[in-house]
A and B are shown apart, each in its own frame.
Chain A
Amino acid sequence: MADNQTSLARTFLAGLWQENPVLRLILGMCPTLAVTTSVQAALTMGASVIFVLIGSNLVVSLMRNLLKPHLRILMFTLTIAAFVTVADLFLKAYQPAMSAKLGPYIPLIIVNCIIICRAEACASKNGLLVSLADAVGMGLGFTGALAVLALVRELLATGQIVFEFGQKVTLVSLPDVPLFRMAGMAMPVGAFLTLGLMLGLVKMVTGKRS
């Protein structure tokens, strides 16, 4: 991708919709299913993925000419793991509740297909600016998809969206009617079904012939 202005905007927008990692490239399923029981958790996961994505894309695109073939994968995993550890430490220090709730899924960002995919497909071939645009685009695309999924699941499971900053803040609260108290939505069953239907919806909207 040439390094001019239009390609920057195009890479950024591609990440948001045409090549949205979750909805179109179907990558990064593990965190998407695991963490979307609550909107706050989804947003925290999205934020940490953006941070790691930007960090690793920049470092990878900085060293893209020095990479040797046999150490390629090792270098990517090392950089990504380092950034994920920083993110994990930060969360443990400043957001202990969230870090406990997300548990093992923060370190699992290392093997999240999106980050290694962007590092390999985009960052190791383009300059800093394009990689940055791509990282932010992909990150926001990922967070957006996660937030929507979490919204649906949390509303259906508990009937309310709760944010915890010290004290509980209930944004939305729906009547205590069975439709909004489906415990299944918080369990793995709900995760798979909701994501499956959501991907189906996206495919219908884009009318993609596969």
Chain B
Amino acid sequence: MGTRLLPEETCENAGTDMIAATGMQVVWLSALLLTGLGVVFAVVLLAASIKLKVQEDPKVEQIHAVLPKVDCGACGFAGCSSYAKAVAADASLIGRCSPGGAATAAKIAAVLNLQISEGGAPKRPIIHCRACRQDKTFYAEYRGIEGCTSANAQPNVQACAFGCLGFGGCVRRCRFDAIHIIDGLAVIDYDKCTGCGACVAGCPRGLIEMVPFTHEPMLVVACSSRENGKTTRAMCAVGCIGCGLCARQSDVFTVKDNLARVDYARYQPSEATETARQKCPTKVIVFRGKGAPADEKVSKAPAAAGAAS
């Protein structure tokens, strides 16, 4: 809007030749300064990286190598190195790296799994219960808070005081969508499971156990009922009645408080374990893991006439 108050040419040529004189000088000087700084830092950092080397636990270093090393703090830890140390100690923190996303989580799991059992088999969760809604007997219909912890606080929500309540406490903790409630029972999808172990703490009844998967699939006693045979039969069609048949077949099984358990340290699939599985009256010994055959169905009628609704 105002007239051109500063005639273009006077300012222009006065300006440019003044700049040009120092133009070459600026280029020369800035190149010198930057390279100088670069040399200083290169020397100092190189010397420092050699002299100040601190040996780090190899496991943490492998995890650190996999992380995006951006130290953005999104995982709640102060930078990737402290997150690596934390994840190495507590595997349930695997999914926390948001910039890295699922790819990084899977890589950490791979590194961790090799490490947890000292290079042995990767650890995977198994659930010590296989009773679906129609296998269980209920004394009343539970209309309380839809959560395992709250349901577990109420007595007699279902006949069996040990079995899976099916309200998804474990589902809520799993970051990899690898565990679902199907027909009132928690079932693990072993293709998605990274073995991070977050679900273990999700189950108020402690039904989930991390087990080294030396073979694929593994034999599991899918029950936690310590009641004697008669009561268990009344409460659940597929419970372990503590008959001890499996223990007699193979020493991999041991029975304590009317409940059979697999000793995973000495677990070795053999003829004996196979016959033990077939002999089990309530088919509670089942295969779990990738490619595990479906559990065998058992007729619904529990032996004793329980007050099943």
Query: Do A and B touch (CB < 8 Å)?
Result: yes
Q: A: which residues have CB within 8 A of B?
A: 19, 24-27, 69-72, 74, 78, 113, 116-117, 120-121, 209
Interface of chain B residues 19 through 49 with chain A (CB within 8 A): 38, 41-42, 45-46, 48-49
B98 pairs with A116, CB closer than 8 A: no
Smallest Cβ-Cβ distance to A74: which chain B residue: B41
B292: CB under 8 A from chain A? no
B70 pairs with A121, CB closer than 8 A: yes
A209 to B174, CA, bound (A): 10
Give the 5 A-B residue pairs with the shortest CB-CB distance, closest first. Answer: A70-B49, A121-B68, A117-B70, A113-B72, A120-B70
Expressed in whole angstroms, the minimum distance between the Cβ of A95 and any Cβ of chain B is 20
Q: Could you list 13 A-B pairs, sorted by A, with CB under 8 Å?
A: A24-B98, A25-B99, A69-B49, A70-B46, A70-B48, A70-B49, A71-B45, A78-B38, A117-B68, A117-B72, A120-B68, A120-B69, A121-B100
Over the window 151-195 of chain B, the binary record of Cβ atoms lying under 8 Å from chain A Cβ atoms (1 yes, 0 no) is 000000000000000000000100000000000000000000000
Consensus secondary structure, chain A interface: helix
A209 contacts which chain B residues (CB < 8 A)? 172
Which of B74, B99, B101, B172: most chain A Cβ within 10 A? B99
Expressed in whole angstroms, the minimum distance between the Cβ of A131 and any Cβ of chain B is 14
B74 contacts which chain A residues (CB < 8 A)? 25-27
Known: A19-B101, A121-B100. A74 touches B68 (CB 8 A): no
Expressed in whole angstroms, the minimum distance between the Cβ of A78 and any Cβ of chain B is 8
A121 to B68, CA, bound (A): 5
A69 to B48, CA, bound (A): 12
A120 to B70, CA, bound (A): 7
A26 to B172, CA, bound (A): 23
A26-B74, A117-B99 known; 20 new pairs, CB 8 Å cut-off, are A19-B101, A24-B98, A25-B98, A25-B99, A27-B72, A27-B99, A69-B49, A70-B46, A70-B49, A71-B42, A72-B69, A74-B41, A74-B45, A78-B38, A116-B70, A120-B68, A120-B69, A121-B68, A121-B70, A121-B100
Over the window 181-220 of chain B, the binary record of Cβ atoms lying under 8 Å from chain A Cβ atoms (1 yes, 0 no) is 0000000000000000000000000000000000000000
B101 contacts which chain A residues (CB < 8 A)? 19
A126 to B70, CA, bound (A): 17
A209 to B176, CA, bound (A): 11
B100 contacts which chain A residues (CB < 8 A)? 121
A25 contacts which chain B residues (CB < 8 A)? 74, 98-99
A74 contacts which chain B residues (CB < 8 A)? 41, 45
A113 contacts which chain B residues (CB < 8 A)? 70, 72
A72 to B98, CA, bound (A): 22
A26 pairs with B98, CB closer than 8 A: yes
How many residues of chain B have a CB within 8 Å of chain A?
Answer: 17
Expressed in whole angstroms, the minimum distance between the Cβ of B6 and any Cβ of chain A is 16
Smallest Cβ-Cβ distance to B172: which chain A residue: A209
Smallest Cβ-Cβ distance to B95: which chain A residue: A210
A116 to B68, CA, bound (A): 10
A69 contacts which chain B residues (CB < 8 A)? 49
A71 contacts which chain B residues (CB < 8 A)? 42, 45
B48 contacts which chain A residues (CB < 8 A)? 70
A72 to B71, CA, bound (A): 14
A70 to B42, CA, bound (A): 9
Smallest Cβ-Cβ distance to A125: which chain B residue: B68
Expressed in whole angstroms, the minimum distance between the Cβ of A89 and any Cβ of chain B is 13
A120 contacts which chain B residues (CB < 8 A)? 68-70
A78 contacts which chain B residues (CB < 8 A)? 38
B69 contacts which chain A residues (CB < 8 A)? 72, 120
Smallest Cβ-Cβ distance to A18: which chain B residue: B101
Expressed in whole angstroms, the minimum distance between the Cβ of B117 and any Cβ of chain A is 29
A24 to B101, CA, bound (A): 11
Interface of chain B residues 122 through 168 with chain A (CB within 8 A): none
Interface of chain B residues 254 through 299 with chain A (CB within 8 A): none
B70 contacts which chain A residues (CB < 8 A)? 113, 116-117, 120-121
B38 contacts which chain A residues (CB < 8 A)? 78
Expressed in whole angstroms, the minimum distance between the Cβ of A66 and any Cβ of chain B is 14
B45 contacts which chain A residues (CB < 8 A)? 70-71, 74
B68 contacts which chain A residues (CB < 8 A)? 117, 120-121
Smallest Cβ-Cβ distance to B68: which chain A residue: A121
Expressed in whole angstroms, the minimum distance between the Cβ of B41 and any Cβ of chain A is 6
A19 contacts which chain B residues (CB < 8 A)? 101
A36 to B269, CA, bound (A): 64
Smallest Cβ-Cβ distance to A117: which chain B residue: B70
A209 to B70, CA, bound (A): 24
